[in-house]
Every structure is written in structure tokens, then in C-alpha cells.
Amino acid sequence: MSKTAKRLGPQDMFFLYSESPSTMMHVGALMPFTPPDDAPADFLRQLVDESKANEVVEPWNLKLSHPDLLYSPTQSWVYDENFDLDYHVRRSALASPGDERELGILVSRLHSHALDLRRPPWEMHFIEGLEGGRFAIYIKMHHSLIDGYTGQKMLARSLSADPHDTTHPLFFNIPTPGPAPADTEESAGGGLIGGAGNVLSGLGDVVKGLGGMVSGVGSVLGSVASAGRSSLDLTMALVNSQLRSDNEYRDLVSSVQAPHCILNTRISRNRRFATQQYPLARMKAIGAQYDATVNDVAMAIIGGGLRRFLDELGELPDKPLIAVLPVNVRPKDDEGGGNAVATILATLGTDIADPAERLRAVTASTRMAKAQLKNMDRDAILAYSAALMVPYGIQLASTLTGVKPPLPYTFNLCVSNVPGPQEVLYLWGSRMEASIRSPWWHTAKRSTSPCRVMPGH
């Protein structure tokens, strides 16, 4: 019997339980590189061979204890005693001319295939044949193994600021540092926590899975009772989010406010991957002019794009689309596996034609949502997220069972921002051009829109 490494947490179980043929709960990351000028013709082959020469460390050598019984209440991560790195690290080549379109087509195809849950749930693809002599790395990993924020940090540790460093190991060869005592770090990103831990186990497990509370509603209430000052903030935030007044809390989005939209229909397993870049300096300048963050500007851009798209189809709702925004609550310096994310809700302003007014609406909404969390500790934030997402758990259960949801939608799509590195980084002397995340799509959530912040973009 394989040695047990650790049990899955409630949020990890949600992503595992949500796996289905049309809802594959993995996320991906695409990183194009420009090799050094003096790179030999077999540079990529050397890089692949070198990556396989070192020992694979936790969590990348962990597999599920019961892969054929995903709903097992004793599901754990165990060490794979027959780990095969050749299966996980692969080479692919683009069809000519090797442009961005061809790269997007290949990544779309790779992302449309489910991970083998009988093995450690991750793959790494070295992609050669990009125009200009470039190559790319595409990595996909199951969200139950690791959240997006931590995954991004782990991937970054494979890179070096020194263009002459040709010995830096890859992420799966680098031991993960344990958590250090520190203040909780809050940032948009880290992956979506939405839905139920196990829809077959009732509403208690829905709340458990969403908020990371290990005992359902009872634990949520217990967290409130024991959180001191934070419990009062949590209680007030819950009241504010559902009983919004027409003045102070009018910009706060409730959990039953999203309109019906064609985005929220059942989808197939096929995926499409596409990218768009904007100058970071320009986005910062817009944000400064309107007292908004870069994230607010990105959301307003997404809202404008969706407004135009839906309007052209004659399917633009009268009410604004609502986005769920993941918030990382993992302690600083904790790069362990699993998930540690909470959520807030915000408008995308799709009901507003004027771009400036749309940005103001988005900014007011996100500012109010973040204000609810201001004085909460980590447990209270998770409890707030759990309660905020309870209606979504009911909607999810209804969707999976083919029953019309009894409540309005909680959100229409996810907008996730995992900040990329703020300096130029290299892999064996190859300059990383971008770091772009490919998210998971739920069967009733047709579109998610991740944003990445890279040097200059």
C-alpha cells in the first residue's frame, strides 16, 4: 500500500468531486520563451532531458488514494511508488507557420483532455516550432492538487533572473518550503472556490466545500462565534450582502443578483484558448485617472467586450453580468499544495455603454466587496465566502441533476488575476515572454476570463 502524504482539504474535495467528462477541473499555464542566441539546434531536447535527471518532489509525486472512487470520504494524497516522469513531461511540435494561432489551437486541444487521476494529476508539455525559433511550455494541473496562486509561485521558482543560469531545476524538482508564521496575504487570484464540496452529501457539505469549513454550517457559525471582533464584521457583511440598502451598500453585489445569460448553459468538453495583451503602463494610467486599480480596469475591459459580444447576438441582459473574484488567503511563504482561497462578487458593468461610467461602477463594486473583508481574520473571510456561495451550491446541485435552479444565479463568470513576475526571468537562458493561465470551465459557466500581469503588460 502506498504511503499517505496528506488528506484532501474541503476545497480540494470540491474540485475533485466536480470532475466530470464535460467539466474537467484542471488549470493550465502557458509560457512562451525566446532561447539564447547561442542555443544549439538540440537545445530543447537537452532541456527536456535535463529536467528528467533530478528527483521529483512533493506534491508532484502524489496521486489519489482512491482514483476509481472519487467521492470516497477517505480520499487522500499518497506517494506514487511507480512514478513515471516520461508520462508527465512531453514534447510537442507546432504545425507551420508556428504562429500564435497555431499555438492557441494546440493548447486548446491539450486543455480539452482530462488528466489521468490514477497518476499524479499534472502534465508538462515542451512545445517547439514557434516562429522565430521560439518554444513554449504548457503545464496543466488538477485544481484539487494545487490552487492557481500557489501554482504560479511554484512555477516562478523554476526561473532565474540570471540569463546565464543554466543549472536551475524545474518546479517539480524543487522541495516546497513549509508555511511560516506570517500575516495572511490577500490578493485577487488563486483559483475559483465556487460550489459544493460534495453535492451528493447535502447543503452541509456544500458550505463545507466552499468555505473550507470542515464541519459544514456548524463550523461556519462556530467560526463566527469565536472570531472576536472579526465575528461582528462577518455578521454585518453577511447582512449587508443580502439586505442591501439604497444608499451605503447599493454597490454591494448579493449572491442572488446575477441575470440569466447565454454564457450560463451546459458546455461540452471542448475548450478554446486565446490571449490578448495590453500595455500595463496604459492600464495604470487609466486607473490613476479614475481612482481605480489595474484589476478594476481589466474587469471594465472584460465587461465592455462581453457587452459588445452579447449585444451583437441580441442576448445582452438588462442587468449587469456578475463576476466571482477569487481572493488568496494563504499565509505568506506557504507554498504547500491544496487550496486556500475565498471569494467576492462584483459587477462587470455590462449594462453601461459608456466605458468611463462602466469603470466607475466596477470600481465602486469591488471596493465595497473588499471593504466587507477589511477587518476579518482568515477564518471569518472563509466563513463569509462559504455563506455567500451557498446559493451557488444549490444552483450547482440543480444543474448536475438536471433540475431548474430554484434561485437566481450567483455569478455569470469568473475573473481571476494571478499576478505574474514583475521582472524579466529566464529558463536556462531562455527569456520568458509571458505567463498566461488557462482556467477551468464549469459545465454551467461557459466563460471565465483570467488576467495576467507581466513586465510591461
Q: Can you tell me the distance from the alpha carbon of 238 to that of 230, in angstroms, rounded to the nearest whole number?
A: 12
Burial-class residue 53 by CB neighbours within 10 Å (0-12, 13-18, 19+).
Answer: exposed
203-211 helix and 10-17 helix, angle to the nearest 10 degrees: 110
Active-site choice (125, 143, 164, 168):
143
The question of whether 26 is a catalytic residue gets the answer: no
Rounded CA separation 435/405 (Å):
37
Q: Which of 262, 243, 241 is nearest to 253 (CA)?
A: 241
Identify the CA nearest to 206 among candidates 373, 448, 11: 11
Instruction: Please list the residues that pair with 188 across neighbouring strands.
Output: 327
How far does Cα 329 stand from its chain's mean position?
Answer: 13
- Mark 147-159 as b/e (b = at least 16 C-beta within 10 Å): bbbbbbbbbebbb
> Residue 325 belongs to what H/E stretch?
strand 322-328
Half-sphere exposure of 78 (CA within 13 A, CB side): 17
CA 196/CA 392 separation, integer angstroms: 8
CA nearest to 334, candidates 199, 179, 138: 179
Kindly list the catalytic residues. 143
